[in-house]
Amino acid sequence: MFRRGRFRAELEGLIANDQLSIHPYIAAELACGFLPDRKNTLHYLDGLNQVLLVRLADVRLMIEARGLASRGIGLTDAHLIASCLAVPGTHVWTIDGALGRVADLLGIRATIPGRPEIR
């Protein structure tokens, strides 16, 4: 699945240890773009464990309670953050700047052992 990319080994390790989950909105966003071997990639993404899907009303409450307005994240990112906060021990693994900063702020950004933090 992951033939190249700078985090290939880490992703494969997470998958092998059943430690990788996906938010259904992230899978849908990926489906909106170009994917190599599209059919198989989408089938694979659909087979990953899914994080808890938080109700939209609760996402909006979280945005207000955590002061996340005007921090450069969108609805999909906010949903992802809410899902991670809803299940302790769930972390965000991202190279997106705004999402990474918010995940850092909330203490839910994943780190890769032996590598500097993703920025």
Count: domains in the chain: 1
Neighbours of 5 (CB within 10 A): 9
- Residue 57 inside a domain? The answer is yes
- Residue 113 inside a domain? The answer is no
- Residue 118 inside a domain? The answer is no
pLDDT tens for residues 46-75?
A: 999 999 999 999 999 999 999 999 999 999
Domain that holds residue 55: 8-106
8 A C-beta contact, residue 48 and residue 30: no
Token representation of residue 69: 């307005």
pLDDT tens for residues 13-51?
A: 888 888 889 999 999 999 999 998 999 999 989 999 999
* pTM for the structure as a whole: 0.84
